[in-house]
Chains A and B, each alone.
Chain A
Amino acid sequence: MHHLAFFVMLGAVLVMAGLLLDVVREGLPHLTWQFLTSAPKERGEGGGIGPEIVNTIVMVGGAMIVTAPLGLLVGMSQVEWRPPHAVVSVFDQVRATWLSIPSVVLGFLVYRVAIAWWHWPLSVVTGVLALCVMNWPMMVSVAVTALRNVPATYREASWALGATRSQTVRRVVLPAALGELINGWGWAMARLAGESAALIMTAGLNVSTHWSAWGPGETLAVYIWYVRTEGYGARGSGVAAATALTLMLLIALILWVSGRLSDWRQHPGR
């Protein structure tokens, strides 16, 4: 039975390797400096994904800058300034439910509020709002897990020395939790960079020649979807593969950097 399991796993590994090879085989020939820096072109040769790369980085960065501190503060409110047990239990259920809402539903709600009610355009800012709504419960979960993993004895020692609660959080708990926080933030950024469903409705399917926060904000993931389902002819598959390769390399870079930083925080001097 164990050997059977091994061969079944080998089958799945081969299919997954086939997928990755497909992306590299079809994408690599298109992946030139010119492709990475120029704007997309619907017809004819040439065209690239420069604005999509900028949009992806700006939107993921924007959503993280807004939600990481908010998530950390909300996490601290539950772990460091512990409210009564009943409150924590309601809070945990809301967090788990919010986290489980499919991104397409969140995008649909942001579309209704921001675009239909407030008359915001399909834009980078609206996309960032959608990513924030997706990411806030994620950030809270990351913070809650990291803070709960800091041993209670650290806090007790700090209080015994006469430190106040907020001093303990700032000087003792946060430095101890930082490594795990960075790791969680990296994974959250990877998830945001790969998001497409919510952004199709809120950030739009094109880019403008002059970048602006209120201009259309197509990201790499949305571009792959657009190229393969709406426009482009025979050339589409290669362009999509090259974009997918770029996106996956970007995600790998995010995970590698955050992993290294996190390791370095947790085991300095290694």
Chain B
Amino acid sequence: MRDQQREKVIQSVTWGLGGIFVLLGFGLMAMVLVGAWPTLAEPHALARLLSPTWDPMRDQWGLLPFLLGTAVVTCLALAIVVPLALATGISISRMLPWSLRPQAVRLLAALTAIPSVVFGWWGLETVVPAVRILGGQAGFSLLAAAIVLALMLWPTLGFLFAEALMKVPRSYVEASAALGASDDQTLVRILIPSAWPQLMNAFLVAVARGLGETVAVQMVIGGQVAMPAGLLSPGATLTTQLLTDATLFPPGTRGHAALDAMALALLAAMGLLVRLSARWQGQP
């Protein structure tokens, strides 16, 4: 009898803690929504939020420059890194000698632990001057941010792609070869389609990391709040603006609510990615 009571107590303690965890998770999301409410509740909220002018002195809080900055930097970085990472995954899972494959995967995994601020430092040392020479402008730019972000994402995405391709059963590859397919045909017709769900999930992980990355991008993007004129012009993203302005506008001010609206946009994008990823895993 005493045993049963003890079991009950232990179960309620862990379930209680689990409940607190879920409540706190919802609480964090609710805080962002409540914080952003002043910007959402006013008339023409969407038009004002999507306006291209961010000018705190004149009470203009358009988020378009940052939404555009985030979209451009993330897409460009992914356009650079996806081919690199796919090549890495293919090389590791198909080209390297068998004995080197585990080491190569472990090395990539270790590279994922490099802090993002180190990539920002490298961007200032190398990428910004290079872009300055190529483009003739300041060098701090959307392009520099995308290049830094791409290198930062490469170990993660390469590691996940390699893992996905190595999980395809060997019998598939052997059957394909036995039917007379060349290596390239096996890769395109068998390996990539079989690993497609895992590859898509890896891609979504990279998108999420790219959208959420802050310091590495902030150090090289230039922090300009006007609409960017092109890839070589400086800009800002949702995360970099959140970092630089968080301590500028105290809670309760209109600026603070605008920052919450940025956080809300990021959360919405992340929520969408989580849903997509669950879909690729075959979960509801």
Contact = CB atoms under 8 A, between A and B. Distances in A.
Interface of A: 1-2, 4-6, 8-9, 11-12, 15-16, 18-19, 22-23, 26, 70, 73-74, 76-78, 80-81, 83, 89-91, 93-98, 100-109, 111-113, 116-117, 133, 136-137, 140, 164-166, 187, 190-191, 193-197, 200-201, 221-222, 224-225, 228-229, 237, 240-241, 244, 247-248, 251-252, 255
Contacts, number: 233
B113 A191 contact: yes
B137 interface: no
A248 B114 contact: yes
Given A9-B87, A91-B18, A111-B246, A19 B151 contact: yes
Contacts of B274: 93, 96-97, 100
Interface stretch (B4-12, B44-52, B224-232): B4-12
**Interface-central residue, A102, A105, A229, by most chain B CB under 10 Å:** A105
B284 interface: yes
Contact of B266 (A102, A117, A133, A237): A102
Contacts of A165: 7, 10-11
Interface of B: 3, 6-7, 10-11, 13-15, 17-18, 21-22, 24-26, 28-29, 31-32, 35, 83-84, 86-88, 90-92, 94-95, 110-111, 113-122, 124-126, 151, 154-155, 158, 183-184, 187, 208, 211-215, 218-219, 239, 242-243, 246-247, 250-251, 256, 259, 263, 266-267, 270-271, 273-274, 277-278, 284
Contacts of A225: 117, 120, 215, 219
Contacts of A98: 25, 28
Give chain B's interface secondary structure class: helix
Contacts of B158: 9, 12
A140 B113 CA distance: 20
Contacts of B251: 112, 116-117
B113 A136 contact: no
A9 B91 contact: yes
The 9 closest A-B pairs by CB, nearest first: A194-B115, A102-B212, A8-B87, A77-B14, A77-B18, A197-B214, A5-B87, A94-B25, A100-B270
Contact of A74 (B3, B18, B117, B187): B18
Nearest to A90: B22
Contacts of A18: 126
B32 A109 contact: yes
**Interface-central residue, B11, B25, B117, B215, by most chain A CB under 10 Å:** B117
23 contacts: A8-B84, A9-B88, A12-B158, A16-B151, A16-B155, A23-B122, A91-B21, A94-B21, A97-B267, A98-B28, A104-B212, A112-B31, A112-B251, A112-B256, A116-B250, A133-B28, A137-B21, A194-B115, A194-B117, A200-B215, A224-B121, A225-B120, A244-B117
Contacts of B7: 164-166
Contacts of B32: 105, 109
A200 B242 CA distance: 12
Contacts of B10: 81, 165-166
A166 B6 contact: yes
A8 to B, nearest CB: 4
A22 B263 CA distance: 35
A122 to B, nearest CB: 9
A197 B111 CA distance: 20
Contacts of B17: 70, 73-74, 77
Nearest to A15: B151
B212 A109 contact: no
A237 B14 CA distance: 49
B122 A19 contact: yes
Given A2-B94, A136-B21, A166-B6, A12 B154 contact: yes
Contacts of B239: 102, 104-105, 197
A266 to B, nearest CB: 15
B212 A103 contact: yes
A159 to B, nearest CB: 12
B25 A137 contact: yes
A107 B245 CA distance: 12
A196 B14 contact: no
Contact of A83 (B15, B28, B187): B15
B282 to A, nearest CB: 13
A104 B214 contact: yes
